[in-house]
Structure 1
Amino acid sequence: MSLKENMDALKEELNSEEKFLESAIKTERFIKRYQKPLIAGVVSLLFAATGAIAYQAYTEAKIESSNAALNTLLLNPGDKSAEATLKNDNPALYDLWKLSRGIAQNDPLILSSLKNSEAFGVADIASYEAAIIKSDAAGLENYTKRQGALYKDLALLELAVHALEQGNTALAHQKISQIGEESPIYQLGQSLSHYGVK
């Protein structure tokens, strides 16, 4: 290597070291200038992560507690402590348990207490089942007029049967005609219309 090449290599090496030193100084100035906001940001991230982990642990503990309470209630429905735990930890699951208990016991009082439940489908099914247990034609009629009633077609069929028992075939035909063709109850309604209502 010639002297000139050695000098060029040395200059290039000094330039790269100078650039590195310059970027280190810029980084140090940036850190000194924004030290407090950077520390606050890191601390905030740590608090957020700790909070998320704690919330997840709390949620999982409530789920485990409500599952244990439900298992206890399935074995011993009279356990008031398990009932209170389930009601506090998971109100939707509590309402579902009460619904199953009301249906199993044919208890319209339990079912009526669920008419304002916020759990999906519980209030709807409770209204239908309470009307069926009480043989409440007016309750079934009101149920069929609800928007999005889950058992609307079944309630219409029940009303048709009730009308037949009363000897009102015109009303029975009217109720059966309200059952949609896409409904699984449609064929049953048509059979009732042809064989039972004539």
Structure 2
Amino acid sequence: MSLKENMEALKEELSSEEKFFESAVRTERFVKRYQKPLIAVIAASLLAVGGAIGYQAYTTAKIESSNAAFNVLLSNPKDAAAEQTLKNDNPELYDVWKLSRGIAQNDVTILEGLKNAEAFGVSDIASYEAAAIKGDLQALEQYTKKQGALYKDLALLELAVAAIEKGDVAAAHQKIALIGEDSPLYQVAQALAHYGVK
């Protein structure tokens, strides 16, 4: 290598070192200028991550606690401590458990207490079951007119059977006609119309 080439290589190396130091100085100035906001952002990020981890741990603990209480209630429905734990930790699961207890015991009081439950389907099923257990035809009729009623077709069948028992064949046909072909109870309804209503 000639002296000229060595000088060019040295200039290039010095130029790259100069650029590195220049960017280091810029970074240092930026950090000094925005030191407090950067620290605040880092602290906020650490707090957010810590909060998310804490919330996840809290949620997991509640789920485990409510599952344990639910398992205890399945084996011993009279355990008041487990019932209170389930009610506090997971109100929706508590409503589902109360619904199952009300249906199993044919307890209209429990079922009517669930008519305002927030868990999906609980208030709907409780309304139907309470009316069916009481044999309240008017409540069943109102239930069938409710938008999105889960047991609408079953309630219609019960109303049709009640009409047959009273001898009101026309009313029974009207109720059976309201059950759609896509319903799982359609075949039962057709059999009732054919064999039960003549």
4+ runs of 1 displaced by more than 4 Å?
A: none
Separation in 2 of the partners of 1:3 and 1:70? 87
Q: 2:158 is matched with which residue? A: 158
Moved more, 185-194 or 91-100: 185-194
Give the alignment's TM-score, normalised by structure 1.
0.99
What's the CA shift for 1:72? 1.0
Q: 2:103 is matched with which residue? A: 103
Give the 5 Å matches for 1:1-198: 1-198=1-198
What's the CA shift for 1:75? 1.1
Give the alignment's TM-score, normalised by structure 2.
0.99
User: Structure 1: where are the runs of 5+ without partners?
Assistant: none
What's the CA shift for 1:78? 0.9
Residue identity opposite 1:135 in structure 2: G
Separation in 2 of the partners of 1:192 and 1:64? 47
Separation in 2 of the partners of 1:136 and 1:151? 15
What's the CA shift for 1:17? 0.4
- The SS at the match of 2:117 is coil
The total of aligned residue pairs comes to 198
What's the CA shift for 1:40? 0.3
Separation in 1 of the partners of 2:94 and 2:71? 12
- Same amino acid, percent of matched pairs: 74
Separation in 2 of the partners of 1:76 and 1:195? 45
- The SS at the match of 1:165 is helix
- The SS at the match of 1:67 is helix
- The SS at the match of 2:114 is coil
What's the CA shift for 1:30? 0.3
Residue identity opposite 1:145 in structure 2: K
Residue identity opposite 1:15 in structure 2: S
What's the CA shift for 1:197? 0.2
Separation in 1 of the partners of 2:182 and 2:70? 37
- The SS at the match of 1:29 is helix
Residue identity opposite 1:23 in structure 2: S
- The SS at the match of 2:118 is coil
- The SS at the match of 1:77 is coil
Separation in 1 of the partners of 2:184 and 2:64? 38
What's the CA shift for 1:195? 1.0
RMSD: 0.6
Separation in 1 of the partners of 2:167 and 2:88? 49
Separation in 2 of the partners of 1:25 and 1:16? 14
Separation in 1 of the partners of 2:51 and 2:107? 44
- The SS at the match of 1:184 is coil
